[in-house]
Structure 1
Amino acid sequence: MKGIRVHQHGGPEVLSYEEVSINQPGRGEVLVRNRAIGLNFVDTYFRTGAYTPPALPFLPGNEGAGEVMAVGAGVEDFAPGDRVAYVMTLGAYAEESIVPARFLVHLPDGIDFETGAAMMLKGLTAQSLLRRAFRVEAGHTVLIHAAAGGVGLILTQWAKHLGATVIGTVGSPEKAALARKNGCDYVINYHLEDFAARVREITDGRGCDVVYDGIGKATFEGSLDSLRPLGYFVSFGSASGAIEAFDIMLLMKKGSLFATWQLLFTHLEKRENMLAMSEELFAVVSSGAVKIPIHTRLPLSEAAEAHRRLEARETTGATILLP
């Protein structure tokens, strides 16, 4: 079969489209024929070595959707022909993938493969942020960085559905229009405005209840300055680089703030969490409250180009790779 293999860490050019072999599924594993594969910023971390893969070479990719081809020993919940989606499993950038059954779920009939592939990692990340890291309720004011990105658009729609006032940051007029279309009450172009000062203006000096920050280094201090006393800084990515070490007393000085860095895998370690979180995600998508915008479709062979666009911040919404 064809797949993308990384033989050494580096830029997008290290993504090699080549013939790869695959084994039959072992105990607790399922062989999936991928119909669509999701692209995520975390894929670039594994490619560059910022996150360490189990070994080199490796197949990147952390989400996909398709059909079950075979199941290993001990797998009782899945059978050949089942429509499925999965997350948190390296190896999605291929025509077929071996997936641990605990990270696999049945895909509802009303959700197609492309949507399934585009929503698992980003959608479950949004669920963990909005419902677990800080539970957003009606009346809250939330700040979402990169509001026109893949996770950002899901966060924006879902937070609005929950009754929150949503403030989003973006980097262009086109992204601002997209963020507004998807539920942002206020949009800040961070190239033109000091976003923390603008948040204070919007909230009459009170600040937000929570900031969802997948940008990292460039937005860290401004995010803290955007919060009300006892507010929550929820970090989940480092698109601009890792947050530098800081004195924890800074949180006291900024208003006795809470700060956390959330890893989706921690939430999904228990199978019951995987099922419950996926069920809630599928429910808001099936109801139409949250739409999964797929703005770019590329063949799997063009994964390097997909990474280049993602890192250049040329993308909005979700990008999927088609094997």
Structure 2
Amino acid sequence: MLASLLLGRRGPSGFSWSSTAEEVTAGISAAGLTAIVTGASSGIGAETARTLALRGAHVIMAVRSLPAAQALRDAVFAQAPEAKLEVMELDLSSMASVRTFASEFIAKGLPLNILINNAGVMAIPFALSKDGIEMQFATNHVGHFLLTHLVLDTMKKTSHESNVEGRIVNVSSEGHKLAYREGIHFEKINDETVYSSIRAYGQSKLANTLHANELARRFKEESVNITANSLHPGAIITNLLRYHSILDVIHRTLGKLVLKNAQQWPNSNKLEHLFCLANRVRLRPAMSLCTHRQRASLGSTSAIATCTNHVRWPSEKAKDMSLAQRLWDFSIELIT
């Protein structure tokens, strides 16, 4: 593995550790698909939106930073003038902002095939959102839970009328294993006296996985033609550690030797989940966390379908469906 990492040796899929999103998706069309990508102004969110747009999808960039997203959009247009890329404002830490975004999106009358709940913050100092919820839980989980809740009818209608399977991808993290011992601090979400920035981050990432699991269970029960998955995107150089100056410097310098950059993230299942949709391949809903070690040639539908059966086992808490149900009920109370 080390030799492959250092020498860029290609694996069975035909791609290596350093393969880029454009290389992995070459020759694949996402034309006719509509996608929402949160946090699309930087990092892997930006690369996700850019690559989807280059492959023909109509992409809605749901972002806080409008100037950064508009700059990316202009760059994509310069490369592909026919690309369909829109920028819409979304602050996931504000339920009012999420509701406004969803309302404005629905008013466009667009279909929705793909929802990528990607945006997030990591290990930040204690703070409460505008709605009085601990900021990491509010941004990483509650905002995405509400967004999914509001656009789900549109996704169901799209998948039914088009007979194309919809896809919801929650970007979780291997860091979900760092959550509090109880998993989710239901009674102490906003208690600063027990707050740990890393534990709270793990809690929010655990919530992402539990949310996807409960969605998958409900879709199966209702025979809905949508899959919900959570994934670990791999160790990638982004701005997530900006609140930890020393760690940020290390991961942006020495990290370049062993970590992927945003353009090299497609070794994760994120692109697999998205682009096999364009090839009309049905994915088994993942009741566990997908990892960047799952590599498949996206040009080979059989490889894609097989790859999803090999996933890294998440923590016991992430597989706890009673906890997923409790989180669902708790989240519904928060958003209503």
Alignment TM class, shorter chain as reference: 0.3 to 0.5
Relative to the length of structure 2, the TM-score reads 0.39
Structure richer in helix, relative to its length? 2
Q: Specify the structure having the higher radius of gyration (Cα).
A: 1
Relative to the length of structure 1, the TM-score reads 0.40
Structure richer in strand, relative to its length? 1
